[in-house]
Structure 1
Amino acid sequence: MNRNLLIVNEGRILCSTSCGTEPYPGRVCAPSILLNTWQNLPYLRAVSAPAPQGAATLSHYMAPTSPYALILDDHPLVAHGMAEFLRARLPQMEVVEAAGADDLLRRVEMRGTPAIALIDFWLAEGAAVGLIAQVRSHCPGMPIAVISGDDDPAVMEQARQAGAQGFIHKQAAPETFGLAVEALLSGLVWFEPGLLGSQPPRSRDLPVTPAELGLSTRQGQILALVLQGLPNKRIALQLDIAESTVKEHVTGILERLRVRTRIEAITLLRGRRLELS
């Protein structure tokens, strides 16, 4: 690597010396320059950007042997889908899927700071706000993208306050997802509040009611939230029912739809618009 290529200040690239201009705080190089050098960011952050005073650090803070992205989503198929997309879009980058919050932290300590971490806001144990803050303190210079199917603007704001530099809605197009990741790898932020709650039904979607699917009214309400990507705990909180009740209803919904997983249910109902009233 040409060590004269980048100038780093507090973990952020300010300018390439090839830009032809003097760097100054807040200046960011063209994305093409930044994207050509993202694979060196973890090393640069580790040796050039000391952690803020008082920030927690890992016991074995080291540069990773190779750049990698770290993904945590409690829906394995969703995590695998994101991983496969990133492998195709960024073939130089290794993509690692964490099995849970503890596994994510263990991998960071064992392998060093990732180039980027993508974390689902709603995990099996609840909101990931605490985990995001913990990862931020461990890896102060690393971009964190929060992924969620939740349309509540407060979710995005909580993610931002916890230390995330980006928020990507699960209803975003794959190209948007790719652009967001590339922007974050370039040292930029990615928040698009206009996307939240602004996804109108497609005009070609066929309306369908819970009754037409053989579901009860309550099952229809739960299915609508499942289609938004919400986990059982979030559904239970929103409907003010026990999580065990949600699990029973989800099992019944999958059986009625003759599918095995939530992803299969979403795929089955693609092109349909669930109407609850």
Structure 2
Amino acid sequence: MSRLIRVGAIDNHPVVLLGLGAAFAETAPDMRLVAIAGSADELLERAHDGLDVVLLDMRIPGQPPAHETVATLVEHGLVVVLFTAEERPVPVRRAIGAGAAGLILKVDPVESIAQSIRDAVAGDLACSSQLATMLLSDEDVGTRLSPRQIEILRAVSAGLPYRMVGRQLGIGEVTVREHLARAAKAYREGGVETGNVHGLISRARADGHLDG
């Protein structure tokens, strides 16, 4: 008989998770949803010593960015799998870089979700569907921006004029404009015209570059 896999979850939609727990009972008798919490601290208080894997929703209002939560849970020796409707590659890959064991999309069939959990517990990369795999590994999905470009976009999006951005970062205004131009070029080379700087900021935010 297979060892029971004890699953915890951090999510602000407990009804969805209760449905998942019921589905496990019917289709995945080797796993059980044993703890649901709204934050990493709450989960650690409840069930840190009795979990094999944690499902983490990436969009919980009032909580730290997902990659920070992943890092916290991994530091406590927990296996973390992203369980989310998030389809933006930047925050997904950031969370994977922090130690998440894979990605499960909430829209995927429960059989795929269960198998992905088994994969994560076994030490393999968990991917619940072709889209999840693409978000994790396809270099053509999402435009890559440098840390400096993101830093400048974040400052400009806060309303700072270019001169103040340059002063804050220790660079000239011309250099600020050059970084913005390179970011726009990166999008253009990927087939996306961002237009002016406001369009560039909107696109970078939509892709998740300005999260966290």
Please, what TM-score do these two structures have when normalized by structure 2?
Answer: 0.54
- 2:80 aligned partner: 144
Q: Percent identity?
A: 22
1:186-225 CA distance string (max 9 Å, x none) = 2211146840598xxxxxxxxxxxxxxxxxxxxxxxxxxx
The alignment partner of 1:180 has SS state of helix
Q: How is 1:74-93 mapped onto 2 (pairs within 5 angstroms)?
A: 74-93=12-31
TM-aligned CA distance change 1:193 to 1:152, over 3 Å: farther
Match of 2:106 among 147, 151, 170: 170
Q: Quick one: structure 1 residues 192 and 172, their matched pair in 2 at CA, closer, same or farther if it must change by over 3 Å?
A: closer
**Mapped partners of 1:71, 1:106: distance in 2:** 13
1:121 equivalent to 2:71? Answer: no
Write the deviation string for residues 145-173 of structure 1: whole angstroms up to 9, x where unpaired. Answer: 11111211112202201211110112212
- Contact 1:144-1:164 within 8 A present in 2 as well: yes
Q: Is the 8 A contact 1:153 1:193 kept in 2?
A: no
Asked if residue 99 in structure 1 is aligned to residue 37 in structure 2, the reply is yes
What does residue 133 of structure 1 align with? 71
The question of whether the paired residues in 2 share the 8 Å contact of 1:68 and 1:116 is answered with yes
- CA shift, 1:100, in A, is 1.5
Shift of 1:97: 3.1
The DSSP-based 3-state class of the residue aligned with 2:86 is coil
1:158 to 94, 100, 109: 94
Q: CA deviation at 1:70?
A: 0.7
Evaluate the alpha carbon distance shift between residue 93 and residue 147 of structure 1 in structure 2; reply closer, same or farther with a 3 A threshold. closer
Q: Give the whole-Å Cα distance in 1 for the aligned partners of 2:128 and 2:26.
A: 24
Q: Which has the larger radius of gyration?
A: 1
SS in 1 for 2:74: helix
- Counterpart contact for 1:80–1:97, Cα < 8 Å: no
Partner of 1:68, secondary structure, is strand
User: What does residue 7 of structure 2 align with?
Assistant: 69
Alignment of 1:1-277 (within 5 A): 36=2, 38-39=3-4, 68-101=6-39, 102-109=41-48, 112-126=49-63, 127-139=65-77, 142-191=78-127, 194-195=130-131
2:20–2:110 contact (8 Å) kept in structure 1:
no
Deviation, 1:133, is 0.8
Residue identity matched to 1:116? V
Q: Which residue of 1 aligns with 2:202?
A: none
Q: Write 1 or 2 for the structure with the bigger share of helix.
A: 2
Cα distance in 2 for partners of 1:79, 1:193 equals 19
Q: 1:86 to 1:159 in 2, by over 3 A?
A: farther
TM-superposed CA distance for 1:174, in Å, is 2.1
1:80 Cα deviation from its structure 2 partner = 1.3
Task: Give the match's secondary structure for 2:81.
Answer: strand
Deviation string 1:4-34 (CA, Å, 9 cap, x unpaired) is xxxxxxxxxxxxxxxxxxxxxxxxxxxxxxx
**Residues 174/95 of structure 1: CA separation in 2 closer, same or farther (3 Å cut):** closer
Distance 1:115 1:197 in 2: 22
Q: Deviation of residue 143 (structure 1)?
A: 2.4
- Unpaired runs of at least 5, structure 2: 135-204, 207-212
